[in-house]
Structure 1
């Protein structure tokens, strides 16, 4: 069996996968309780909630990768909490990803 020690299982990674699991569970409940008919947005193709979730997650991945390539991951600053809590630049990419997701769910 190969070692998976290289994987970065941090609290942030766990939270990320936890949120995705919660979104998928919510989408499943919505599909059962309130069936949706596909709608046509700016892409001019019919999309469902699941399609829009996939498009927003894919876009978020590209936004984060581009942000890391262009701006790096150096901390923005340190908060005076405990021994100092660093604030990552990736929070900016996360904010951009949330704006992207809101736009996708609104107009796609």
Structure 2
């Protein structure tokens, strides 16, 4: 069923983090319903809205990093493409930033 995807450790960790975030947000929402608030995003958002926006940004960051891997290897004169763990850490940091300040 999942043979179409390359399941490496970073990919599995990324999707496990997303699943844990969704479960955690569901529990948080049931215990403490959210209200709209304005941060630096141009719209008033709830926690769920910020999670969705943050997950989209995390996915785009990871896709961009994977797409630019060869270019980064050439530009930085590396022996191999940079580790995808770098993009994972960056994307999770952006997700946390959007959740806290967005």
**TM-score where L is the length of structure 2:** 0.74
Residue equivalent to 2:94: 100
Given candidates 64, 67, 87, the residue that maps to 2:65 is 67
Stretches of structure 1 that go unaligned for 5 or more consecutive residues are 78-87
Report how many residues are paired: 97
Larger radius of gyration: 1
Higher relative contact order (CA 8 A, sep 6+): 2
Query: 1:32 aligns to what?
Result: 30
Whole-angstrom distance in 2 between the partners of 1:93 and 1:53: 18
Q: Which runs of 4+ in 1 moved over 6 A?
A: none
Provide the alpha-carbon RMSD of the alignment: 2.7
Provide the TM-score with structure 1 as the length reference.
Answer: 0.70
Higher relative strand content: 1
Bigger helix share:
2
The runs of 5 or more residues in structure 2 that have no matched partner are: none
